[in-house]
Amino acid sequence: MADQDKEGLNAALTEAMDQVGEMAPEEKAEQLALLPLPLDEDEQATEADRRGPGRPAGSRNKRTEAWTSFLLSNYRSPLEALAQIVAARVEDLAARLDCKRVEAFKLQIMAAKELAPYLHQKQPVALDIQGKPPVSLTIQTGPAEAAPVAQPGDDAVVITGQVLNSEKPEKTEG
In the predicted model, what is the mean pLDDT of the chain? 74
Residue 14 lies in a domain: no
Residue 2 lies in a domain: no
Residue 28 lies in a domain: no
Residue 90 lies in a domain: yes
Ramachandran angles phi, psi of 3, nearest 5°: -65, -35
Residue 84 lies in a domain: yes
Residue 143 lies in a domain: no
Residue 148 lies in a domain: no
pLDDT above 70 coverage of the chain, percent: 52
Q: Which helix (H) or strand (E) holds 160?
A: strand 157-161
Mean pLDDT is lowest, of 109-113, 134-138, 152-156, for 152-156
Residue 164 lies in a domain: no
Confidence grade of residue 17 (pLDDT, cut at 50, 70, 90):
confident
How many domains does one find in the chain? Answer: 1
Q: How far apart are CA 148 and CA 139, in angstroms?
A: 10
What's the domain range around 87? 76-118
Q: Do 121 and 102 meet the contact criterion of CB atoms below 8 Å apart?
A: no
Rounded average pLDDT over 105-127: 88
Q: What is the pLDDT of residues 47-71, one digit of tens each?
A: 555 666 777 777 778 888 898 889 8
What is the reported pLDDT for 9?
Answer: 75
The whole model's pTM is what?
0.40
